Structure 1
């Protein structure tokens, strides 16, 4: 069976509209958890003001900014950064795991109880978190050097969670196989990842220029929108791997 971008977009759109209620529920649920975690985090006000006001625009100014901080401020920045990274990984893992289990549950021909699906989801999360950490770490290293390596790593590693969810490969093997398949089918995988990156960038720019909304409501809407877009990407990638596996 031939795989084309138009066919995958059609399949993704069909699945999304058919399961739009569940996808919205998952997106809202993950966004609310994200907000709850933020409520329990109380970083130093000075550090937050620096980050929110975007007082650094590149690596050089960031290093200069850190160099001008005292030891206490550096510790606060480090703690805040670690917490935000963990929060982001937890949200991504929860959304990714929920969407993958949902697609698997609806795609399997054999009858499967909701209890077994929940058990699969809970047993899947810890390893998925580790996998997400590895992928994020590698891609961020790529983005630190140049944008192109970061984008290429994002594309080539994008199938790793999907491959791992089939429970036929370990963490490293899933990443290795993802790099091989994604590079081979980069003309199909690439547009999906670029759509996700551009959509996230545009949404971030739009939100940063909206001043007439309550910040908390805006943050909730932004998170829900990002989660929905990421769910669409997961559906696209999962459908691609399913067709590839069958062929």
Structure 2
């Protein structure tokens, strides 16, 4: 039986609709966790004042501002960037693990509603491996995007199945990434549109959330997490059919 995009979209929509409450709560929870970790690790009042001085004295453009910063200001900026990246990674991994655990739990036929905390807790044994594969994927894709956009998109598409293979087959990280690249290349027509749409949606969310206060930012990031959850469900359904 051939796999079509329309059947995948329909299956994804049905699962999302039946598990809507759990997925929405998980998206909000992981967004809130991301904000808390970012706040705990991010700048204090003195650091913000240091950066503010640099921004006020700078000419124009981000690179010009960074060049005009003192070593202390550059260190503060690096700390802020690292804290934001780490917080996003943790939130993304929790969402990824929770969604991938929710799918088999909800499909087991028990008839009970799965809570967001239970889904995330069920993924706990595989969270370190998921964190590692997420870091490797992020580094490789970001480096590819720095070279050219097309290689970055191709790498994002071919590596998209790595977390699903890691969770489903219980294999090592590198083995999961290799298997994902083979499958991703062979199923480019089914994976590429979904991944590209996800990239665009996440970029819009990131740009918009940077302009909003904390509460609104949490809600907007939760919407971005919902988009990520839909992509995870879509890719999980595809991999299940490919198996």
1:126 aligns with: 128
Aligned residues: 232
CA distance in 2, matches of 1:147, 1:189: 17
The alignment's TM-score, normalised by the length of structure 2, stands at: 0.85
Partners of 1:116 and 1:65 in 2: how far apart? Answer: 46
Using the TM superposition, give the Cα deviation of residue 42 of structure 1 relative to its aligned residue in structure 2, in angstroms. Answer: 3.8
| Closer, same or farther: CA 89–207 of 1 in aligned 2, 3 Å | closer
Superposed displacement of residue 217, structure 1: 2.6
1:244 counterpart residue number: 242
Rounded Cα–Cα distance in structure 2 between residues aligned with 1:117 and 1:203? 25
Task: Find the counterpart in structure 2 of residue 27 from structure 1.
Answer: 27
Q: How far apart, in 2, do the equivalents of 1:117 and 1:81 lie?
A: 30
1:149 matched to 2:151? The reply is yes
Alpha-carbon shift at residue 65 of structure 1 (Å): 3.7
The answer to which structure, 1 or 2, has the higher relative contact order (CA under 8 A, 6+ apart) is 1
Distance 2:119 2:204 in 1: 35
Q: Contact 2:159–2:184 (CA<8 Å) still a contact in 1?
A: yes
Q: Which moved more, 1:32-41 or 1:16-25?
A: 32-41
Q: Distance between the aligned counterparts of 2:235 and 2:119, measured in 1?
A: 21
For 1:9-66, what per-residue CA distance to the aligned partner results, in whole angstroms no more than 9, with x for missing partners? 000000000100100110111111112123323422144785xxxx64xxxx53x443
Q: CA deviation at 1:79?
A: 1.6
Quick check: 1:71 aligned with 2:71? Answer: yes
Secondary structure of 2:169's match? coil
Q: Which string of whole-angstrom CA distances, capped at 9 and with x for unpartnered residues, describes residues 66-123 of structure 1? A: 3332211121122222211111110100000000000122234799xx8997664111
Deviation at 1:128, TM superposition (A): 0.6
User: C-alpha separation between the residues in 2 aligned to 1:185 and 1:129?
Assistant: 25
Match of 2:164 among 162, 165, 188: 162
Q: Please give the TM-score of this superposition, normalised by the length of structure 1.
A: 0.84
Deviates more, 1:137-146 or 1:37-46: 37-46
- Aligned twin of 1:37: 37
Distance 1:171 1:71, change over 3 A: same
Structure 2 unpaired stretches of 5+ = none
| Aligned counterpart in structure 1 of residue 230 of structure 2, from 229, 232, 235 | 232
Give, in whole Å, the separation in 2 of the partners of 1:207 and 1:80. Answer: 16
C-alpha spacing 1:178/1:87, structure 2 compared with 1 (3 Å): same
Cα pair distance change 1:128/1:65, threshold 3 Å: same
Output the CA distance in 2 between the equivalents of 1:173 and 1:122: 21
Q: Tell me which residue corresponds to 2:103.
A: 103
CA RMSD of aligned residues (A): 2.7
